[in-house]
Amino acid sequence: MTFWLPPGRAQRNLALIVFVHATGRGAYVTAGVLYFTQSVGLPVGQVGVGLSAAGLLALAAGPPVGHLADRCGARGVFTAALLCGSAAIAALALARGFWTFLAAACATAFTHTAGLAARGPLVADHGRDRPHEFRGYLRSVSNIGIALGTVPAGWAVQTGTRSAYLALILGTAASSACAAALTALLPATRPIPSDEGSRWVALKDGPYAVLTVLDGVLAVQFKVLTITLPLWIVTRTDAPNWLISATMLVNTAMVGTLQTRVTRNAGTPPAAGRAIRRAGFTFLVSCAVIVLSAGMPGWAAAATILAAVVVHTVGELWHAAGGFELSYALAPPHAIGQYQGLFGMGLGAADFFGPAMVTALCIQWGRPGWFVLGGIFAGTGLLVPPAVAVAERRTGRTSRSLPRVTSSRP
């Protein structure tokens, strides 16, 4: 796989689909909350409750939709999820009160999670014998798309009119619909033959479920740069507020350029476990560096925080690379989608409880909370390699022993 483009046409087309969808997604996640509060007129508390409920509901989408993708063909299920997601996002434009907002937000979150689960078998198929590396490439592409999506979001926020917000919401829906149309460029995937008793095999796989929980705890790290650090900069340091945008730019640039390369070095379950262990300690270091920024002059605080962001992003790269490998390598070939759906529940759970956890520890408690959070990350990372060893012993699977999902292409 080259740095810019993967070798196969199907891989390039799937990357294009991910890019188009991520661009709209970036616009929505950047300005969606402001649309609900400023345009729809909902109180912040109601928006928080609604989005939390939507995230909780979305947790249930992964395994059943992944199972459906395995049994019925991943491309069709992925297309349906994108189309339903487009309709759900468009329905947000009709929100006039809490209940209509809640219904549309739940549908949006559910279809997004469903799309990720259905995409899993496609990555396994078109990634050939290195799906984790292809997944890393797609993450780079997704980050670039999300970054571009912040541009129209910034315009909508700056304009502040209902028309601007509606244009943003409908543009996001259009990007999802376009991504669905582009799935026609992908070769159709045949349904994967099921094994005896494979209907809910992922939920019965204890070692894999343990890894899902551990990954979910570590996934709270995604909330550090998006929620905790901005609040810390504004409330606890003398650093300029523009630093918030700079931290996201540094993170996005590093992920976009380095994720594929880092993922190549996590090509077996043991290597993936070690990468996640390194990530845990790296997060501890970044948390400790962030603490130092309090009480510094503005320029020194800014430099310290940027250094912490670089360290944190290195950990993020290792964490993501290890998770990609484990999620595919330890899944049986007849239930790739179901296992991907289960593994995605870890990230979904982090989306649900992570914001409250990091704000309580790092903002309300302050400096000691950063060390506690870093210790949680480091301790969780230490548990991953032995959990990987147990999973490999129980399943007898290795990352290179799994056959690919079969597609209908020659």
Convert the pLDDT of each residue in 228-245 to its tens digit.
898 899 889 999 888 887
β-bridge partners, 407:
189
Q: What is the pLDDT of residue 403?
A: 42
Q: What is the pLDDT of residue 313?
A: 97
Instruction: Identify which of 404, 342, 392 has the alpha carbon closest to the alpha carbon of residue 123.
Output: 404
Domains 1-192 and 195-403 equal at CATH topology level: yes
Q: What is the pLDDT of residue 140?
A: 84
Mean model confidence pLDDT for the chain:
87
Dist. CA 206–CA 212, nearest whole Å: 10
Question: Domain 1-192 is of which CATH architecture?
Answer: Up-down Bundle (1.20)
Q: What is the pLDDT of residue 410?
A: 32
Q: What is the pLDDT of residue 50?
A: 85
Kindly state the tokens that stand for 134: 């292809």
Q: What are the residue boundaries of the structural domains of the chain, listed by start?
A: 1-192, 195-403
- Name residues whose C-beta falls within 8 Å of residue 159's C-beta, 6 or more positions apart in sequence: none
Q: What is the pLDDT of residue 122?
A: 84
pTM of the predicted model, to two decimals? 0.82
Collect the ranges in the chain with pLDDT lower than 70. 1-4, 6-7, 192-199, 395-410
Q: Which fold has domain 195-403?
A: Growth Hormone; Chain: A; (1.20.1250)
The per-residue b/e assignment along 65-81, b for 16 or more CB within 10 angstroms, e otherwise, is: bbbbbbbbbbbbbbbbb
Q: What is the pLDDT of residues 59-113, one digit of tens each?
A: 888 888 888 887 788 889 999 999 999 999 999 999 999 999 999 999 998 998 8
